[in-house]
Structure 1
Amino acid sequence: MAPEEEYVERSDTPDSVTRSRIDTTTPLWRGAVVLRIVTLLFAAVGVLVNIDRYSRPELGLAVLLVMTAWTALTSVLYLQPARRGNGLVLGDLVLTQVLVLASEYVLSPSQLDVSTTPLVTTIWAPGAVIVLAVQRGPVAGVLAGFVASVTNILPRGYLNVDLARDAVLLIGVGLVLGLVAVTARHSEEQLRRAVRLDAATTERERLARMVHDSVLQVLARVRRRGAELGGEAAELARMAGEQEIALRTLVSTAPQEPAESDEIDLGVGLRLLATSRVEVSVPATPVPLPSAMAIELLAVAKEALANVDEHAGPSASAWVLLEDLGDAVILSVRDDGDGIPAGRLAEAEAAGRMGVCLSMRARVTALGGTLTLETAPGAGTEWEARVPRTVERERRRRR
């Protein structure tokens, strides 16, 4: 269930971020308060009209006074988002049902025998169902409507078509308003994400123009001039070229945020690994994964590329490939370096160098996947991590 309140970051200056509290269901709360006041006036008229026929008119007036005081109190509290706690809403429901049940001691037996004779609370009682549905959603709204229906029947001691119709209306009100409240919160969340993403994209485009007009042009010039000079300058040219590619990839990659399901596109992170020696190939469509899984797989790819830089040779190239099979994803990192001699990994593990076991294999195993290695001296190395989506989803569901 979405929280009743949320905080949205709003940047007024580049160096300051303020947080503003908003509640998208505020119009619903205002409507509930107005409805509560109107129904209280209707109940007051009903009590004054029927008070001479009550068996305990003084108790009827006492119930009306409690309804008035409670309406005044909740009207003030419900208009303040910070005060709309679960305790207040549940207390509203409980007190309302107590006042409804008190009608059994206020109305005369002849009045209770006629279903068209209103109870003391009349149409004021459904207000508690409305606020609970707005606060907690459709399930809580339906349960509150059912409870209100039962307490509406108990003082009379029988069930007929009129009371059954009231029960259906109460449950329906709880369901519909609960759905409206949930939809309002989800819509605001989507709008908030869209606004933040648009702001981030705009800022990225501004930075891209600045980088292109300054840093990228300098790096391109260094790369060209260094290649012309040769020698140590050629190595600087190669490094400048790698940084140029990395910067171009960074400023051209659209920002992203985790979706409602906490999933992010792994392909976006992998694209940022591209350099002059590393080619990245990912599906054209997003590959959404739980953020924890995506972070771990990205770490596996970085570790594999770090091994290429350290062991494959200075002229080795690497290729990163991501495949989406629906129920699983396959991440491959291949290079054309010198390969890994037989027994080298076992020797490294025995010597206490646990990089592959801890940084790569352990990560993939923790995700319920498998990591395979294909290598031979002079034939390069290929790591392939195959991770099912269902394992991480089941783990999150259990948590």
Structure 2
Amino acid sequence: MVAGGCENSSVGIQTQLRRANTVFRFVALGYPVLLGGLAFDALVRPLWAALLVVVLLGWTWAATEWYRRRGYEPKALYTDLAVTVCAVAASSWALATDTGVPVSVGPWMAGAVLAWAAAWGRRSGAVAGAVVAAAGMVFRGGVHSSTVNETVLLVLTGFAAGHLVRLGVVAEQRMREAAERSATVRERERLARDIHDSVLQVLALVQRRGAEIGGEAAELGRLAGGQEEALRALIRSESYRDPLGGQRDLRSLVGRHAGATVTVAAPATPVPLPAETARQLAAAVASAVDNVREHCPAGTKVWLLVEDDGEAVQVTVRDDGPGMEPGRLAAAAAEGRLGVAQSIEGRIRELGGTTAVVSAPGEGTEVEMRVPRGEGGAGGDARRGR
């Protein structure tokens, strides 16, 4: 059964069906009016028959206004179905003829069924059709060809209308998501062009002039070159990433660091994580790589290892730099230098993960960041099921 809140997420098709149902209900009133007019001389209670038609007209107007103002709220739907059942019962008395066969309100009964199908889907539509058909059997002479035909038509109408609404809801959602992705891609491409024409050109110039000048300027040029390479990789990964249903492939975010001094090892299959989780974990990895470039000699090698065991994702950043003395991180935090404490450990802790830093003088440094998969678990389950 489709949730009652789908009115907001599928306003397009539900609004169109509600308007079509409004027209249908008013037109369908012509059925009992026409048959009643043709059999007017045979009606046992013609005045009551006329009053019933007026009541049905009034309720049709009231129901359509209720739906228009308040949407398909449960109170309106249940009331509409109850009034329809009462109308079926009243018609067996008010529209009775001297032949013993009452005039039916006919297609008008389907109005409430269509409303239920539009609001709550095919199952609810079929149930509403069955309820109205059961009332017809109870008050209009039991099971015979006429009531059986009405039952089949009402149940099928509710089921088919609900199914079409559900298909429309899915189609609208996909179109909306496609439009959002298209707009996002166009904006990224515009930003990529602007960055290429400004920031990347400046970084390339700094790298080239630094190499020409030499000395400390050469080191600045090397850092500028590394940042230019990382920024180009960022633009490529953001502009052409694979769609993962609102998730991000961690490999593309970490892979942008690959270069002459950075080696990245990752699984052959995507490592999907919720978008924000992936961004924060990638930011922590970037901070660890930046620490190596800032505190280690030029040419220090860095290895990034991405592991996915289904329950959690772990990224290890290891370098062959000079390492750190025991207690160095605690001393840096006490001095107010919170790069590791906040940029790395703080981010991972907020994601519900853990961080381990292993280092010793002359043996390099290893930073292990492990984050539980959380809502990205579906991806891990899918891989384990392969």
With structure 1 as the length reference, what TM-score do the two structures score?
0.73
TM-score, L = length of structure 2: 0.75
Alignment partners' CA distance in 1, 2:91 and 2:296: 86
Task: Work out whether residues 35 and 127 of structure 1, in 8 Å CA contact, stay in contact via their aligned partners in 2.
Answer: yes
Please, which moves more after superposition, 37-46 or 333-342?
A: 333-342
Matched, 1:355 2:341: yes
Q: What's the offset of the Cα at 1:381?
A: 3.6
Distance 1:153 1:372 in 2: 73
Cα distance in 1, alignment partners of residues 19 and 241 from structure 2? 33
Per the alignment, residue 163 of structure 2 pairs with 179
Q: Distance in 2 between matches of 1:304 and 1:206?
A: 30
Aligned to 1:397: none
**When the two structures are aligned, how many residues end up with a matched partner?**
371
What are the equivalent positions in structure 2 for 1:197-216 lying under 5 Å apart?
Answer: 197-216=181-200
In structure 2, how many angstroms separate the alpha carbons of the residues matched to 1:257 and 1:25? 34
Specify which structure has the bigger relative contact order, considering alpha-carbon pairs within 8 angstroms and separated by 6 or more residues. 2
Quote the residue 2:31 is aligned against. Answer: 42
Q: 1:271 and 1:6, CA in 2 relative to 1: closer, same or farther beyond 3 A? A: farther
Residue by residue over 1:13-54, the C-alpha shift from the partner in whole angstroms, topping out at 9 and shown as x without a partner, is xxxxxxxxx614444334323322331212221233345444
Alignment match, 1:18: none
CA RMSD across the alignment: 4.2
CA distance in 2, matches of 1:258, 1:31: 40
Deviations 1:54-81 (A, max 9, x none): 4543332222112223334555676x6x
**Residue type of the alignment partner of 2:136:** N
* 1:84 equivalent among 60, 64, 71: 71
- 1:225-266: per-residue Cα shift (whole Å, max 9, x none)? 102212231232133223312331232223589989653433
One-letter amino acid of the structure 1 residue matched with residue 155 of structure 2:
I
Change (3 A) 1:180 1:378: farther
Q: Give yes or no for contact 1:331–1:385 (8 Å, CA) kept in 2.
A: yes
- Where is the helix percentage greater, Structure 1 or Structure 2? 2
In structure 2, the partner of 1:11 is: none
1:219 to 2:203 alignment: yes
Which residue does the alignment assign to 2:55?
66
Residue 3 of structure 1 aligns to which amino acid in structure 2?
A: C
C-alpha deviation, 1:337, in angstroms: 3.0
Asked whether the 8 Å contact 2:237–2:253 carries over to 1, the reply is: no
Matching residue of 1:95: 83
Measure the CA separation in 1 of the matches of 2:375 and 2:172.
31
Moved more, 214-223 or 306-315: 306-315
Residue of structure 2 equivalent to 1:245: 229
Aligned to 1:105: 93
1:276-355 map, 5 Å: 278-280=262-264, 282=266, 286-291=270-275, 293-295=277-279, 297-298=281-282, 300-302=284-286, 304-305=288-289, 308=292, 316-324=300-308, 329-339=313-323, 355=341
Name the residue aligned to 2:384. none
Encode CA deviations 1:316-354: one digit per residue, 9 max, x unaligned: 443333345566544333333344666777999999989
Secondary structure in 2 aligned to 1:334? strand
Question: Could you tell me how far 1:124 is from its partner in structure 2?
Answer: 0.5
User: 1: distance between equivalents of 2:258 and 2:57?
Assistant: 69
Equivalent of residue 122 in structure 1, options 106, 109, 126: 106
Matched AA of 2:192: A
Preserved CA contact (<8 Å) 2:44 2:95? yes
Of 101, 112, 119 in structure 2, the residue corresponding to residue 135 of structure 1 is 119
Correspondent of 1:166 among 124, 137, 150: 150
1:28 to 17, 40, 47: 17
Query: Offset at 1:189?
Result: 1.9
User: Structure 2 vs 1, CA of residues 390 and 363 (structure 1 numbering), >3 Å: closer, same or farther?
Assistant: closer
Q: Report the alpha carbon displacement of residue 99 of structure 1 after superposing the two structures with TM.
A: 1.8
CA distance in 1, matches of 2:328, 2:156: 69
Equivalent residue letter for 2:173: E
Task: Letter of the 1:139 partner, please give it.
Answer: R
Unaligned runs of 5+ in 2: 379-386
Identity, % of aligned pairs? 37
How far is the alpha carbon of 1:305 from its aligned partner?
4.1
Do the aligned partners of 1:93 and 1:129 also contact (CA within 8 Å) in 2?
yes
CA distance in 2, matches of 1:277, 1:219: 18
For residues 260 and 336 of structure 1, do their structure 2 counterparts lie closer, same or farther at Cα, with a shift above 3 Å needed?
A: closer
Whole-angstrom CA distance in 1 between matches of 2:19 and 2:148: 29
Please, which of 115, 133, 141 is the counterpart of residue 149 of structure 1? Answer: 133
User: For 1:266, which of 250, 259, 284 is the aligned residue?
Assistant: 250
Assess if the C-alpha contact under 8 Å between 1:293 and 1:392 holds in 2.
no
Cα distance between partner residues in 2 of 1:319 and 1:90 = 64
The offset of 1:93, in angstroms, is 2.8
